[in-house]
Structure 1
Amino acid sequence: MPLNWRRLVAPGITAFVTFWLLIALGVWQLQRLKWKEGILAAIHQAEISAPIPLPEHPTPFEKVSIAGSWIPGKAALYGDEVHDSPNGPVPGGELIMPLRRPNGQVVLVDLGWVPQVLPVPRAEPPGLTEAVGYLHAPIAPGWFAGTDDPGQGLYYTFDPQKIGAGMGLTVAPYILISMGPKPPPGSMAPQPAQSLPTPPNNHYEYALTWFGFALVLIFEFIFFARKRLLDL
């Protein structure tokens, strides 16, 4: 082998391995694309279907129903989101109330955003009722989250155990995010969620990125090899 071509052996092997690694990453993203499309199809089907009774091992992508009775006089407010209105910005938060199931388990229900600065329980009718929505796991507070005030029922930590303890209750390890129609404009009623959570689906773009890197690598190696050979 001529000496000048020997100088390309090590870089060529490195480029060859890197090229197929990039191709493998692109193919992996295409496989994940198919997997994610299956999840999104299941979420869409759940949204257009009737809610299912709360299963033993629920997922956050199912629309479920929970039967129970509201525990009167208890409520909490999560967050401090400001909404716009014709009269200007309106402060408020997510109204959370406890629902006791027939088996005794208490589930916290996020009824939606309300224009309140302190939690005021809704006057729900007594007796057995049904809450529909999806389940949400606890969320760790961010660096700049406010300080929880259990005495006032104000929380910046989305933690059912902590919120439940502030109410003097032992609760399920998740919160039901209520789903339902939007109240009319100007209403003081909570604004429930309108859809199930949807995970992002960027795998096609990721696949194109990896394949693009592989293509760039080919041209870069051609220019590199040409320059090294011509420099001899």
Structure 2
Amino acid sequence: MRPALFLVIIGLGGAAILMALGVWQVQRLAWKEAVIERINSRIAAAPIPLPDDPDPVADAYLPVEISGTYAGDTLRVLVSQKDIGAGYRLITALESDAGRVLIDRGFVAVDDTDIATPTIPVTVQGNLQWPQETDSYTPEPDRDGNVWFARDVPLMAEALGTRPILIVASAVSQDDPAVAPFPVDTSRIPNDHLQYAVTWFSLAAIWVAMSVFFIMRRRAPRPES
């Protein structure tokens, strides 16, 4: 009986651990969905004037409105859009009463290499963002070819001589038909907790089934030799 009891303990203990991991992932799923809902509510709120000293954590996704005039060069960040393909985000400095800041104007196709920068005053509505898009594998920007591979706010601010503040435009008073708005959303926030929960619960079921199999096999009478 001792080997069978050992198998029962191992079977129940392993299943309990796997079930607990599944329950934890369900709890994480509820937490992540609440976080995403809060972010979506903030994104959709009415815009306010740009704060004097926005905080990258507290003011992330904050909707703002700012007026000014585009100035200087435009940086191109290589990206891809579903159903469209490769293209660039256009990042331009905006001279405003709140200082010189970065504006993510939107998306252009990769073949659109000669997009003019508006010279008349504009009003931009959008959301503050400090995207975490760089890691040790991110290539250095090709400054000669004006191709960037991530939105590195401090580095772009240094290149264009702005404050380290990026506003991702959702609406601009002077529409440029060649530039499609690429506003902030939550689609890129990872939320795989449901898949993880299903995996842990499935492993628990398999563990129980295998434990029962080994117990029954252990208890089965052996053929006489």
TM-score, with normalisation over the residues of structure 1? Answer: 0.73
Corresponding residue SS for 1:179 = strand
- Give the match for residue 133 of structure 2: 139
**Aligned counterpart in structure 2 of residue 102 of structure 1, from 80, 97, 100:** 97
- Give the match for residue 111 of structure 1: 105
Paired letter, 2:30: K
1:78-110 residue CA offsets vs partner (Å, 9 max, x unmatched): 11658989xxx9x74111101245353x43221
Q: 1:21 Cα shift?
A: 0.9
The separation in 1 between residues aligned to 2:87 and 2:211, in whole angstroms, is 58
Q: Does 1:40 align with 2:40?
A: no
Answer with 150-159 or 58-67: which moved more.
58-67
- The structure where strand makes up a greater share of residues is 2
Q: 1:141 Cα shift?
A: 6.0
Q: Is the 8 A contact 2:124 2:171 kept in 1?
A: no
Q: Between the two proteins, what is the percent identity of the paired residues?
A: 25
Q: 1:112 Cα shift?
A: 0.9
Q: 1:42 Cα shift?
A: 1.9
The separation in 2 between residues aligned to 1:83 and 1:207, in whole angstroms, is 28
Corresponding residue SS for 1:153 = coil
Q: Does 1:158 align with 2:151?
A: yes
Q: 1:28 Cα shift?
A: 0.8
The separation in 2 between residues aligned to 1:206 and 1:82, in whole angstroms, is 27
The separation in 2 between residues aligned to 1:162 and 1:77, in whole angstroms, is 13
1:153-198 residue CA offsets vs partner (Å, 9 max, x unmatched): 332242123333333x1531x53322238x99xx743111255223
Q: Is the 8 A contact 1:134 1:179 kept in 2?
A: no
Paired letter, 2:55: H
- Give the match for residue 230 of structure 1: 220
- Give the match for residue 77 of structure 1: 76
Distance 1:120 1:163, change over 3 A: farther
- How many correspondences in the alignment? 216
Paired letter, 2:75: A
Which segments of 5 or more consecutive residues in structure 1 lack a partner in the other structure?
none
- Give the match for residue 189 of structure 1: 178
- Give the match for residue 180 of structure 1: 171
Q: Is the 8 A contact 1:33 1:203 kept in 2?
A: yes
Distance 1:194 1:21, change over 3 A: same
TM-score, with normalisation over the residues of structure 2? Answer: 0.75
**Aligned counterpart in structure 2 of residue 149 of structure 1, from 135, 142, 155:** 142
- Give the match for residue 204 of structure 1: 194
The separation in 1 between residues aligned to 2:154 and 2:179, in whole angstroms, is 22
The separation in 2 between residues aligned to 1:202 and 1:92, in whole angstroms, is 28
CA RMSD of aligned residues (A): 3.6
Q: Is the 8 A contact 1:83 1:92 kept in 2?
A: no
Paired letter, 1:158: R
Instruction: Give the alignment of 1:14-93 within 5 angstroms.
Output: 14-54=10-50, 56-59=54-57, 62-79=61-78, 81=80, 92-93=87-88
Which segments of 5 or more consecutive residues in structure 2 lack a partner in the other structure?
none
Q: Is the 8 A contact 1:67 1:131 kept in 2?
A: yes
Answer with 116-125 or 68-77: which moved more.
116-125
The separation in 2 between residues aligned to 1:35 and 1:217, in whole angstroms, is 28
